[in-house]
Amino acid sequence: MEDCLFCKIIKGEIPCSKVYEDEEFLAFNDINPKAPIHILVIPKKHIESLAHLKEDDEKLMGKIYGVINKIAQEKGFKQDGYRLIVNCGKNGGQEVMHLHFHILAGKPLGEKII
């Protein structure tokens, strides 16, 4: 996807502060962190949002939780915990239309919506 910001990050056309990478996923620090640790985990495959997932993507989406767990372990916040957020579409407040999971950690995260 030529105009997709996160695809450009995957291709190395835009720099990022990389946290984790394998064949299928990339994780990097959010440019505008909302917590001491704010990591974005994305599939390398361009999927616009959760609403755009196809049946074929089920396996990939199953794996993303393993990646998140691995990052939590490696970065040392697994024990204290974290919050996972996925904004989907207009009402979800999604701004970058490439599926991404926000990991927030590093302090008690305060008010919960839910």
Which amino acids are annotated catalytic?
Answer: 100
Q: Does 16 bind ligand 5GP (CB under 6 A)?
A: yes
6-14, 15-23, 49-57, 60-68 -> range binding Zn ion (CB under 5 A): 6-14
Is residue 32 at the binding interface for ligand 5GP, with CB under 6 A as the rule?
A: yes
Site for Zn ion contains 96 (CB under 5 A): no
Give the torsion sign (CA, 108, 25, 6, 51). negative
Decide: is 95 part of the binding site for ligand 5GP (CB under 6 A). Answer: yes
Does position 7 interact with ligand 5GP (CB under 6 A)? The reply is: no
Our CB check for ligand 5GP shows the closer of 62 and 93 to be: 93
Contact set for ligand 5GP, span 72-91 (CB under 6 A):
87
C-beta nearest to Zn ion: residue: 4
Among 37, 41, 47, 94, binds ligand 5GP (CB under 6 A): 94
Q: How far is CA 18 from CA 27, 47, 110, in A?
A: 6, 20, 27
